[in-house]
């Protein structure tokens, strides 16, 4: 393959590393030369996306654009961003580059189809900012999947702390609160659960597999990147 993938990462670093691992493991390859050439720009200094959107924190766009410029200079042909909340700035990033920026919500919708989930509702887990921006609600409802979200108490007591545990490298501790919310969404009638923050799949993978369909946004983006790399 000659197409070079740019990975705009560091949000967080562990999620970016997991994306690179899954990009490798999901690629059908027999030898090094059959894998996807990729450049990882992992910059954990990017200001917090949730704080920027909900709390008046520093705008992450200048740091995101700095990473895009670096990936352009490295000769990349497309960009994948293994951070769901950063896609709240997708339009601004795409307007600033001629490189296609793969969209994680579109990739996750394709993952639901791959999993055989043809109807909703779909449970959606993510950061408070991702849910506030309705990134998944808009993307999935447009395709005919109504969405269920965690309630305020679940977000405050389980989802947000679970994401923070992964960012703090306390991954095993994140499993119980995150899995509990996923089960709650299924009990409310969801047909599948979207893991719409790239820290959440890491926490869910730290314990027993959940007995229902989950759409992992890291895997989804990796599959989209592989499809792009092999398109020619």
Q: Distance of CA 18 to CAs 52, 53, 221, Å?
A: 25, 25, 11
- Kindly give, in sequence order, each residue whose CB lies less than 8 Å from that of residue 213, ignoring residues fewer than 6 positions away: 112, 115, 116, 117, 191, 192, 193
Is residue 1 pLDDT above 70, yes or no?
no
**Predicted local distance difference test score (pLDDT) of residue 169:** 98
Percent of the chain with pLDDT over 90: 98
pLDDT higher than 90, residue 177: yes
What the chain holds in terms of domains, given with CATH numbers, is 5-103+220-229 (3.40.50.1860), 105-217 (3.40.50.1860)
Is pLDDT above 70 for 134?
yes
**What pLDDT was estimated at residue 136?**
98
Model-level pTM greater than 0.95?
A: yes
CA distance 1 to 37: 7
Q: What angle do CA 84, 166, 106 make, to 5 degrees?
A: 20
Helix (H, G, I), strand (E, B) or coil at 216: strand
What pLDDT does residue 55 have? Answer: 87
CA 40 to chain centre: 15
What's the confidence (pLDDT) of residue 156?
98
89-132 pLDDT per residue, tens: 999 999 999 999 999 999 999 999 999 999 999 999 999 999 99
At 142, list the tokens.
């447009």
- pLDDT computed for residue 2 by the predictor: 75
State yes or no: pLDDT of 137 exceeds 90: yes
Angstrom distances, CA of residue 214 to CA of 43, 158, 162: 28, 18, 17
Q: What is the mean pLDDT of the chain?
A: 97
The pLDDT assigned to 104 comes to 98
Whole-angstrom distance, CA of residue 104 vs CA of residue 163 = 18
């Amino acid at each position: 393959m000659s197409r070079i993938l740019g990975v705009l990462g560091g949000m967080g670093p562990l999620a970016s590393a997991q994306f690179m691992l899954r990009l490798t493991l999901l690629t059908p390859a027999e030898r090094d030369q059959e894998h996807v050439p990729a450049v990882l720009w992992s910059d954990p200094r990017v200001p917090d996306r949730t704080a920027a959107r909900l709390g008046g924190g520093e705008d992450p766009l200048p740091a995101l654009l700095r990473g895009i410029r670096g990936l352009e200079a490295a000769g990349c042909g497309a960009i994948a961003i293994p951070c769901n909340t950063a896609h709240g700035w997708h339009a601004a990033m795409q307007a600033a580059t001629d490189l296609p920026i793969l969209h994680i919500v579109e990739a996750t919708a394709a993952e639901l189809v791959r999993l055989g989930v043809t109807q909703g509702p779909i449970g959606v887990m993510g950061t408070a900012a991702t849910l506030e921006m309705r990134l998944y609600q808009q993307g999935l409802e447009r395709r005919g999947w109504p969405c269920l979200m965690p309630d305020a108490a679940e977000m405050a007591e389980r989802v947000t702390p679970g994401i923070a545990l992964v960012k703090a490298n306390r991954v095993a501790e994140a499993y119980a609160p995150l899995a509990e919310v996923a089960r709650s969404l299924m009990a409310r009638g969801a047909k599948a659960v979207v893991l719409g923050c790239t820290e959440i799949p890491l926490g869910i993978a730290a314990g027993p597999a959940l007995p229902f369909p989950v759409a992992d946004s890291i895997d989804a983006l990796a599959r989209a990147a592989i499809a792009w790399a092999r398109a020619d």
